[in-house]
Structure 1
Amino acid sequence: MNVFPDFGGLGGIDDLNVAIGAALTIILIVAVLMIIISAIAWAIATSTGNPALGAKARAGVFVAVGAAILAGAGVSWVNWLIRVGEQL
C-alpha cells in the first residue's frame, strides 16, 4: 500500500510553499547575522574583561546556532516523516 499526501488537493499550496521558503530563508539569514554579531560582542567582551556582556553574547551565539539548526532540520524532518508514511 503506497500512502502519500496529496499536496495538489489544497488550493493555494504553491503560494504556501513560496511563503514557507521565504520565511525559512529570512530565519536562516537572521540566525547567521546574529551569530556574527554575538561572536563579535563575545570577543570584545572577553578581551576587555567584561564577564556579564560576555555571558550574554555567548548565550546569543548558542541561541542563534540552535535556531539555525532547528530551521534547517525542520525540512529534513518533514521529508523523513513523509518517507515513513509511504512505508506504513
Structure 2
Amino acid sequence: MNPAVDVTPNTDGLPGLAALSKIVGALLTFGLVAAVAGVVVSAIAWAIGSSSSNPHIAGRGKTGVLIAGVAAMLIGAANTLVTFFANAGAAIR
C-alpha cells in the first residue's frame, strides 16, 4: 500500500512570498485601470462610429466596451475564482 500524499499550501514556505503577493495586488490594480481605459476608449470609438454612420467602428466600440467590462469582472473575481477552483480540486479524492 502506498502512503497518502498530503501537501497543502502555506504562507511561510518561501522567502519573498509577501513581496510577491504585493506585486500581484499591484498587477490587479493595473489591470483594472487598463480595463477602465479600455471602456473609455471603446465608448469614444462607439460614439464616433455612431455619430458618423460608420457601423464598423461603432461595432468595434461596442465589442471593446463588452470585452473591457468582462476583463474587469474577471480581474475583480480573480481571488474568488482561484479559491473556488483550489477548494474544488482539494475536494477530489
Question: Normalising TM by the smaller chain, what interval?
Answer: 0.7 to 0.9
Larger Rg: 2
Letter matched to residue 67 of structure 2: V
Q: How many residues align?
A: 86
| Correspondent of 1:19 among 10, 23, 29 | 23
Other-structure match for 2:63: 59
Normalising by structure 2, we get a TM-score of 0.77
Moved over 4 A (4+): 81-88
More helix by share: 1
Larger RCO of the pair (alpha carbons < 8 Å, separation 6+): 1
Other-structure match for 1:10: 14
Gaps of 5+ in 2: 1-6
RMSD (Å) for aligned C-alpha atoms: 2.0
Gaps of 5+ in 1: none
Identical pairs, percent: 38
